[in-house]
Structure 1
Amino acid sequence: MKSARRRSREFAVQGLYQWLLSGTDASAIVAQLQSAPGFGKADREHFDTLLQGVIRDAKALDTQLTPCIDRPSAELSPIEHAVLLIGAYELMHHIEIPYRVVINEAVEVTKTFGGTDGYKYVNGVLDKLAAQLRAVEIQPASR
């Protein structure tokens, strides 16, 4: 059974996918997703934080991701790009979520929506980003 947090990330990916492709306003995306099956079981607060935060901070998040990716973000698949933006946002703004959980959730969501091996790419990119953003958290684990 999926956790409310996992559902919130999945719906945020769907919303960001739509936003990346069409530039649709966040409130229109939320209005549309609210009627989707299973939305009521999502962590609504986390969904709102992710969708609004990623859209607001997209340029800064892409700047953080750029050294960790092997091509311009515009060339990423929209699903992988959305998942990476969410992962970067959680690594930067949700220190209470352990970096391993952020990466694992991103991998699982990518397995659900992304291409065959997309999750491996997402894992590698977020691993590099976590090493930069969460060095203090990662250091003790690697001793």
Structure 2
Amino acid sequence: MTINSTATRDKSNCSARKKIPLAHRRKARQLILQALYQWLLAETKPRLITQQFREENEGNIDWDYFDEVFIEIPKIVDDLDEHLIPVLDRKPDALDPIEKALLYLGTFELAHRIDVPYKVVINECIELAKVFGATDSHKYINGVLDKMVVKLRPIELSAK
């Protein structure tokens, strides 16, 4: 699966068609970040991480979204890196693991989840960076994802 430069709408099994409260989606993104962090550091298989997270986290979480996003990112990490490298000021391997996980999440959503407005993608990643990242990582995430919007969502950007 490669990333198109103008992100096309994936009409197959989108959890976005269901009426899921935004707080449930926000919690799913937080867990996706934590799962990606674990995957990056421990190199645990995504299916095992998913199983662990489902056992440890109950409550109001958009699990469909978690599954759709978290399981796919490790499969296309090389494609995500290809899109990120031109807009980064360092190699992906030199990124802090939280920043790297957030950039993977943001880039994936910008490329493959066009049902989510680009401003929401950026805002959610910034808020997660403020909670989980280093002191100014939210500024870095914002700058990189702003550049990714130009690359992956030019039509949506020009419509604003």
**CA apart distance, 1:35:** 2.8
Structure 1: runs of 5+ lacking an equivalent: none
Higher relative contact order, chain-length normalized (CA < 8 Å, sep 6+): 2
Deviations 1:22-57 (A, max 9, x none): 2100111112212334x4311001101111111111
How many residues align? The count is 139
Q: Write out aligned runs for 1:60-75 (5 A).
A: 60-75=79-94
Q: State the partner residue of 1:127.
A: 146
Correspondence 1:24 to 2:44: yes
Q: State the partner residue of 2:105.
A: 86
**8 Å contact kept, 2:99–2:133:** yes
Structure 2: runs of 5+ lacking an equivalent: 1-21
Deviations 1:71-118 (A, max 9, x none): 000110101100100100000001111111110011111111111111
CA distance in 1: counterparts of 2:90 and 2:25, whole angstroms: 30
State the TM-score, normalized to the length of structure 2.
Answer: 0.83
What's the Cα RMSD here? 1.2
State the TM-score, normalized to the length of structure 1.
Answer: 0.93
Q: State the partner residue of 1:13.
A: 33
Q: State the partner residue of 1:59.
A: 78
Please, which of 35, 54, 65 is the counterpart of residue 34 of structure 1?
Answer: 54
Correspondence 1:103 to 2:122: yes
